[in-house]
Amino acid sequence: MGKGDPLRLLRQDLLDMPPYEPIEPIDVLAEQLGIAEESVIKLDGNENPYGPSPRIHDALARFPYYHIYPDPLQRQVRQALADFLGLEMEHIVVGSGCDELLDLIGRAVLCPGDGVVNAPPTFGIFPFVAKSYAARLIDVPRKEDYSLNLAAIAAAVREGAKLLFLCSPNNPTGNTVSREELERLLALDTLVVVDQAYVEFDGEGFASLVPNAANLIVLRTFSKWAGLAGLRAGYGIFPKAIAELILKIKMPYNMNVAAQAAILASLADVDTLRQRTQAIVAERERLFGMLTSLSWLRPWPSRANFILCEMKSSSKGSLAAREVWRRLQEKGIFVRHFDTPELRDCLRISIGKRDHSDRLLETLQEIGASVGY
């Protein structure tokens, strides 16, 4: 038996770090409410309401090599992605979700104390990665309209930052970085990571810029547009030398074969997946119009598969986002609630199917009416 408290051997900075707050899975939500899983309306995780390509089931059922380790160099799936993107496979690395690639980028780049620039409100995994490598997080808040503060980002990078995390379309605000803005940021002396988890819902894609930009990394995923969130399938487009390092430092078998088979089956069914993506975009626009009919809520225009809504204050009844969130939950409708310094009193609503939006709006109207709107 060892002497002393083994906890003193752990990294104190990690013991002190707040946990990333993930969303709850559907069975847990259903159990909390005492309702059937099928009647939960889950609009809190930006997941795809149509599920994956119908071809996935067959591809996974028939896959013959579950007993064999995957190819550490991921050649087949990287080549398929290269063909899909029109890029060379040397630029591409596949990960167990785009989250794993964010972690690998942190591992490849960050020593304790290195600067990382982040532009909140944005994806919570960025500060999580910075902190897990004991980096120095430099927050440069977005402007009132959630656009980037380019001058402040440039100033922060000039004081020394190895990484700049961007997200376009941005989670949770739904707006995008323009190509012109990105080009200005690429001129800075830092690696620029653009997380494009939602690009398929009509954001502008930047993957094609990577071969001509030495410091640009673009991350994409099958979680949102292709409905594979549960299988964990993401990929990054890197400058070749960086891709080589990521391949070297990742765990050899980071990508399980089921996820790889699912990626290949999805890429063989892109037309179906694109039709669904278009349906989600159309539903987003319809829901946006419906939400503007509520006098107490301000929806922000979105280029992703969710809509950020801010509570308006008024002289009538007042509704806090937290209260709306709680009352929606009582009706089996789950959305995401934010109340942070950069994002006061907001809800983020993922786009579901038509009847999900209808039930959501009905319930929001009831909630509004109950306080006099």
Ligand X SMILES: *Cc1c(COP(=O)(O)O)cnc(C)c1O
Which residues contact ligand X (rule: CB under 6 A)? 46, 97-99, 123, 167, 171, 195, 197, 221, 223, 229, 234
* Residue with smaller CB distance to ligand X, 304 or 311: 304
CB of 133 to ligand X, least distance (A): 18
**DSSP structure class, residue 301:** P
Buried b (16+ CB within 10 A) or exposed e, 313-350: eeeeeebebeebbebbbebbbbbbbbeeeebebbbbbb
CB of 73 to ligand X, least distance (A): 20
CA 63 → CA 56, 67, 68, 281, distances in Å? 10, 10, 11, 33
CB of 160 to ligand X, least distance (A): 25
End-to-end, the C-alpha distance of the chain in Å comes to: 66
Q: Which of 184, 192, 139 is nearest to 163 (CA)?
A: 192
* Residue with smaller CB distance to ligand X, 135 or 197: 197
Judged by DSSP in three states, 347 sits in strand
Which amino acid belongs to residue 36?
A
CB of 196 to ligand X, least distance (A): 8
Within 63-97, residue ranges assigned H as helices are 75-85
CB of 259 to ligand X, least distance (A): 10
Q: Which residue(s) pair with 338 in the sheet?
A: 346
* Residue with smaller CB distance to ligand X, 294 or 335: 335
| CA–CA distance, 156 with 164 (Å, rounded to integer) | 10
* Residue with smaller CB distance to ligand X, 234 or 352: 234
| CA–CA distance, 203 with 167 (Å, rounded to integer) | 11
CB of 341 to ligand X, least distance (A): 20
* Residue with smaller CB distance to ligand X, 188 or 197: 197
Q: Which residue(s) pair with 234 in the sheet?
A: 95, 221
The answer to whether the CB of 239 falls within 8 A of the CB of 56 is no
* Residue with smaller CB distance to ligand X, 53 or 221: 221
